[in-house]
Amino acid sequence: MEIQEIVSNQKAFFKTQQTKNIKFRKMYLEKLRDIVIKNEDLLYEAIHKDFGKSRFDTFTTELSFVLNDIDYYLKNVSSFSKPKRVTTNLSNQIGKSSIHPEPLGCVLVIGAWNYPYQLSLSPMIAALAAGNCCILKPSEIAENTMKVMAQLINENFPPEYLYVYEGGIDETTALLQLKFDKIFFTGSTKVGKIVYKAAAEHLTPVVLELGGKSPAIVTKDADLEVAAKRIVWGKFLNAGQTCVAPDYLLVEESIHEQFLEMLRKQITEFQYGPDAEQYTRIINRRNFDRLVKLIDKDQLYFGGNSDERKLYIEPTLLNNVNWEDEVMQEEIFGPLLPVISFNSFNLVLNTILDLEKPLAAYLFTRNSEEKDAFTAKLSFGGGCINDVIMHLGNDRLPFGGVGNSGIGNYHGKFGFEAFSHQKSVLEKATWGEPSIKYPPYSEKKLNWIRKLL
C-alpha cells in the first residue's frame, strides 16, 4: 500500500472516534509493552549491529525509557484526558467553563539515529496515549533498528492506527508533502528547518527536537572528583553521539591542569578500549571521517587514536582550544572533548550568551552565587547543576530546546500535551440574561459595563 493511502486511511480511522476511547489506547499501549519485552533480544541485536551499542546502554538509555513511558501513560491517560473545570468570570455568568484535552488526528514522528528506539518510540507512545493515529519514520542511518521497529509494529498494529514507514531523505521529503495534524521531529537544526518549512505549507504545528553545542562549566568551587566522573560518563556515553552530551568544557584557569589530569585518569578507569563492551562505535564512515578531521594533533591532551575498520575513535581530550577553532564551530556529536580555560565566571556566562541557545548546559560548583547566576542568566533547553544528561531521566521535567535548539517539548505530561489540543468550552445557562450587553447601546449601559468588566 502507498504511504498516501495509509495516511488517508489513518485520517478516516481517526474520524471513527475509536482512538478517543481510553480502553482502546490502553489496550494498544499494553500490547506495545508486551512486544518490547518479548522481543528484547531482537532489539539488542539490531542496535548492536548498527553501532555496537551494549545491552547495558541499550537498556538504561533506550528500552527503560520506552517501558517507563508506557507505564506512565497507562497510569495517567485517564486523568490527563478528563475535562478540567475552571472558574468562570463575572461577565460569563451564569455559566460553567471547562478545558477538554482532545487528540489532534494523524501525526507524524520523525526519529534520529543516535538513540533510535527512545527517540522514535517515546514521542510515538505520547502520541498514541493522547489518542492520535501515528506514522513513525525512524532514521534510516541506524538501518537495523529501523527495520526491527517496522517489523514488530507493522506486524502487530493496524496500519490505519499506527504504521512505521521506512525510508531516507527521498521518502521523508515525499512524506512531508502530505498534511498531518502535527509533526514531531528529532534531528539536526539543518533538517529541522526543512521540516518546519514543509509543515508551514499546511499550517501544521511542529515540535522540533534539535541539537547544538552544549557547554559544561567547571569552577574552582566544584567537587572535582565528582565532576570528572560525571562529565566523562556523559560525554563518552554512546561515544559522544548524544544530543545533550557536554559538547565542550569551560574550566576555571586555577584548576585547569589538575582537572584535565582527573579527566584523563577517569577515562582510563572506565576502560573504553577498541573492543570494550561499554564503548559504542561511530555510526558510519561519514561521521568517522568528519570527527577524525576535527582532531588537531597540536591540541591533543589524551586519546586521538582511531580505527576505521572498527569505526572506533578513542575518547579524546583537546587542550588549549580557542573559540575560533574548527571544533568549536559545529556540534561535535562524537567522543572529542575540547577544553577552554577561563578566569572570570561572569565573562564566561556572557560569552555563552552571545552564542546560539544550546539544548543543554551544565555547571559544576558548590558556590550558590554561581548556581544562581547560571540559572538566571543563561537560556538553554534544560540542564543540570553538578551532573550531566540526567535531567532527561526525570519525566516531571519538560524536555526540549529553545531558539536554535528546538521548539516545544515532551516527556511525561508534557508529551501528552504536545499531542493534544486544549479545547475550551463555555456552557451558559439559558436564564439570567443580562440585557446590558445587547443593542441599542446607551451611556447608562456603558457605565454599568465599566463597573462590571
Q: Which of 12, 86, 169, 452 binds ligand NAD (CB under 6 A)?
A: 169
Contact 142, 47 (CB under 8 A): yes
Q: Does 172 bind ligand NAD (CB under 6 A)?
A: yes
Nearest to 410 by CA among 130, 159, 37: 130
Q: Helix 40-51 crosses helix 22-38 at what angle (to 10 degrees)? A: 60
Q: How far is the CB of 270 from ligand NAD (least distance, A)?
A: 23
Stretch that binds ligand NAD, among 54-62, 134-142, 218-226, 228-236 (CB under 6 A): 134-142
Q: Does 201 bind ligand NAD (CB under 6 A)?
A: no
Nearest to 60 by CA among 73, 44, 45: 44
- Which three three-digit cell numbers place residue 399? 524536555
- Give CA–CA dist 337/360, Å, rounded: 16
Q: Does 209 bind ligand NAD (CB under 6 A)?
A: yes
- Which three three-digit cell numbers place residue 46? 539490531
Stretch that binds ligand NAD, among 14-22, 81-89, 136-144, 289-297 (CB under 6 A): 136-144
Q: Does 140 bind ligand NAD (CB under 6 A)?
A: yes
Q: Does 227 bind ligand NAD (CB under 6 A)?
A: no
- Give CA–CA dist 133/106, Å, rounded: 5
In the residue annotation, 133 being an active-site residue is answered as no
Q: How far is the CB of 119 from ligand NAD (least distance, A)?
A: 5
Contact 399, 381 (CB under 8 A): yes
- Which three three-digit cell numbers place residue 42? 531482537
Q: How far is the CB of 381 from ligand NAD (least distance, A)?
A: 7
Residue whose C-alpha cell reads 521548539 in the numeric block:
407
Q: Which is nearer to ligand NAD, 199 or 295 (CB)?
A: 199
Which is catalytic among the residues 243, 252, 384, 417? 243
Nearest to 330 by CA among 294, 296, 288: 294
Q: Which of 52, 101, 187, 398 binds ligand NAD (CB under 6 A)?
A: 187
* Rounded CA Rg of the chain: 25
Q: Which of 36, 121, 183, 243 binds ligand NAD (CB under 6 A)?
A: 243
Which residues, 338 to 377, sit near ligand NAD by CB under 6 A? 359
- Which three three-digit cell numbers place residue 249? 568544557
Stretch that binds ligand NAD, among 51-59, 104-112, 122-130, 264-272 (CB under 6 A): 104-112
Stretch that binds ligand NAD, among 138-146, 156-164, 256-264, 314-322 (CB under 6 A): 138-146
Contact 429, 94 (CB under 8 A): yes
In the residue annotation, 209 being an active-site residue is answered as yes
Q: How far is the CB of 204 from ligand NAD (least distance, A)?
A: 14
Q: What is the dihedral of CA 150, 154, 159, 161, to 10 degrees?
A: -90
Q: Which residues contact 236 (CB under 8 A, 6 or more apart)?
A: 267, 270, 272, 279, 315, 335
Q: Which of 58, 61, 139, 365 binds ligand NAD (CB under 6 A)?
A: 139
Beta strand pairing call for 133-137 and 300-302: unpaired
- Give CA–CA dist 119/392, Å, rounded: 12
> Shortest Cβ contact with ligand NAD: which residue?
211
- Give CA–CA dist 83/422, Å, rounded: 9
Tally of CB atoms within 10 A around 95:
13
Number of residues binding to ligand NAD, judged by CB under 6 A: 28
Stretch that binds ligand NAD, among 39-47, 205-213, 262-270, 291-299 (CB under 6 A): 205-213
Q: Which is nearer to ligand NAD, 141 or 250 (CB)?
A: 141
Q: Which is nearer to ligand NAD, 109 or 249 (CB)?
A: 109
Stretch that binds ligand NAD, among 11-19, 45-53, 209-217, 414-422 (CB under 6 A): 209-217
Which is catalytic among the residues 62, 143, 160, 209? 209
- Which three three-digit cell numbers place residue 213? 553545542
Q: What are phi and psi of 136, to 5 degrees?
A: -105, 130
Q: Which of 103, 111, 159, 240 binds ligand NAD (CB under 6 A)?
A: 111
Q: Which of 173, 254, 368, 375 binds ligand NAD (CB under 6 A)?
A: 173
Q: How far is the CB of 273 from ligand NAD (least distance, A)?
A: 26
Contact 230, 262 (CB under 8 A): no
Q: Which is nearer to ligand NAD, 3 or 191 (CB)?
A: 191
Q: What is the dihedral of CA 148, 199, 187, 67, to 10 degrees?
A: -50
Q: Does 113 bind ligand NAD (CB under 6 A)?
A: yes
Beta strand pairing call for 360-364 and 162-164: unpaired
Q: Which is nearer to ligand NAD, 290 or 371 (CB)?
A: 290
Q: Which is nearer to ligand NAD, 72 or 301 (CB)?
A: 72
Q: Does 284 bind ligand NAD (CB under 6 A)?
A: no
Residues that bind ligand NAD (CB under 6 A): 110-114, 119, 137, 139-141, 168-169, 172-173, 186-188, 191, 194, 209-211, 243, 331, 333, 359, 401, 406
Residues taking part in catalysis: 209, 243
